[in-house]
Amino acid sequence: MSIVNRKVLTLDEFTIQQLRDFPHATGELSGLLRDIGLAAKRVNVEVNKAGLVDILGDANTVNVQGEDVKKLDVFANNQFTGVLQHGISCAGIASEELDEFVAFDDAVSKNSKYVCLFDPLDGSGNIDVNVSIGTIFSIYRRVTPLGTIATEEDFLQPGSKQVAAGYIVYGSSTMLVYATRRGVNGFTLDPSIGEFCLSHPDIKCPEWGKIYSVNHGNFFQYSKGVQLYIDACQKRTKDNGGPYTQRYIGSMVADVHRNLIKGGIFMYPGTFDKPKGKLRLLYESNPFAFIVEVAGGRATNGKERILDIIPTELHQRTPLFIGSKGMMDELDASLAQY
């Protein structure tokens, strides 16, 4: 027995340990996750100071070091882009904050096998009021040959091709959760050592939950099928698995994270004004659909599986219904009535 009885694995230790089962693995994915973890820690520091912005200076002003103070989502975008560009595992990135994808045009990056898409700061409208926000990321193996520069084809892959996906929630504690096909694992940032430590091994989404999450303010903008399902949620009693409870933070990362752990359903349906809803397919819906499916849940756009959608544009939107399998099946039954 080892003398050091270490029970807690850090993110690095965990990803490296995973490699032991794959003797031919190159460790590039571990490297990529380490890079993402590093950017997350830097963003976390700034998110934690967000409330001080009022006394330290606002966006578009100059901070004490004489640097421009950036909006937090721009800051987060720059951190993730920078760390991935300087790492050795990523051939290019796409981000909510950038109109076009960026292919890294240097010898090392051109020989890297992954591309990464992300929403650097999700729920950014909540920053000013000290409510949880997050980062979402999605990782694909590129389809273009190694040694060449990444192209749009590498980014416009269906979600079913994701190699890994994850998110960071900057909440009452900061957590990084990521999924590969082998499972979903959650790591909590231990601020005393500055490391993400495995706290939620092998996360499974309960088959049923009692939480439904939707923006009720849009109720009369939703289709009849969605309205019928929301009605059914409200009418649940203790005799049929209820009563349900409604929870909606307005940060998808925090809302879906809670439902993943506790069981529940999250919906961002299309409305009459915006039939495709608000959420982006490539760096919001796909990564969460991947994570939740690996954990045993489901995700659809109301008609088809999110992960089967063939993307046509980097920033395309999609309605999203995601969560516990039993609740998703019930939703389908309501939607099928119209």
Contact residues toward ligand AHG (CB under 6 A) are: 96, 119, 122-125, 215, 250-252, 268, 278
CB of 13 to ligand AHG, least distance (A): 31
Q: With binding defined as CB under 5 A, does residue 255 bind Mn ion? A: no
Nearest to 266 by CA among 214, 311, 306: 214
CB of 332 to ligand AHG, least distance (A): 21
291 binds, among ligand AHG, Mn ion, none (CB under 5 to 8 A by kind): none
Contacts 24+ apart (CB under 8 A), 226-235: 226/267, 226/269, 226/302, 226/334, 226/335, 228/334, 228/337, 228/338, 229/330, 229/331, 229/334, 229/335, 232/330, 232/334
Query: How far is Cα 319 from Cα 107, in angstroms, rounded to an integer?
Result: 39
CB of 75 to ligand AHG, least distance (A): 14
Q: Judging by DSSP bridges, how do beta strands 245-246 and 211-213 pair with one another?
A: parallel
Q: With binding defined as CB under 5 A, does residue 119 bind Mn ion? A: yes
CB of 318 to Mn ion, least distance (A): 13
Q: Residues 51-90 vs Mn ion: string with x where CB under 5 A?
A: ----------------------------------------
Nearer to ligand AHG, 123 or 206 (CB): 123
Query: How far is Cα 32 from Cα 30, in angstroms, rounded to an integer?
Result: 5
Q: Judging by DSSP bridges, how do beta strands 298-300 and 320-323 pair with one another?
A: antiparallel
Nearer to ligand AHG, 27 or 250 (CB): 250
Q: With binding defined as CB under 5 A, does residue 35 bind Mn ion? A: no
Interacting residues with Mn ion between 208 and 237 (CB under 5 A): none
Nearest to 173 by CA among 203, 154, 196: 196
Nearer to ligand AHG, 119 or 293 (CB): 119
Q: With binding defined as CB under 5 A, does residue 96 bind Mn ion? A: yes
CB of 249 to ligand AHG, least distance (A): 8
250 binds, among Mn ion, ligand AHG, none (CB under 5 to 8 A by kind): ligand AHG
CB of 96 to ligand AHG, least distance (A): 6
Nearer to ligand AHG, 123 or 297 (CB): 123
277 binds, among Mn ion, ligand AHG, none (CB under 5 to 8 A by kind): none
- Write the CB contacts of 69 (distance below 8 Å, at least 6 apart in sequence): 53, 56, 57, 58, 59, 60, 61, 62, 63
Nearer to Mn ion, 135 or 174 (CB): 135
CB of 134 to Mn ion, least distance (A): 8
H helices present in the chain, as ranges: 11-19, 28-48, 53-56, 72-86, 107-110, 152-155, 224-235, 252-262, 286-294, 325-335
Nearer to ligand AHG, 18 or 126 (CB): 126
Interacting residues with Mn ion between 184 and 203 (CB under 5 A): none
Bond into 311 cis (ω within 30)? no
Q: With binding defined as CB under 5 A, does residue 293 bind Mn ion? A: no
63, 68, 77, 100 from 56: Cα distances, Å: 7, 12, 21, 32
Structure tokens belonging to residue 80? 């993730």
CB of 123 to Mn ion, least distance (A): 7
Choosing from 122, 154, 195, 255, the residue that interacts with Mn ion (CB under 5 A) is: 122
Write phi, then psi, for 220 (nearest 5 degrees): -80, 0
- Contacts with Mn ion, residue ranges (CB under 5 A): 96, 119, 121-122
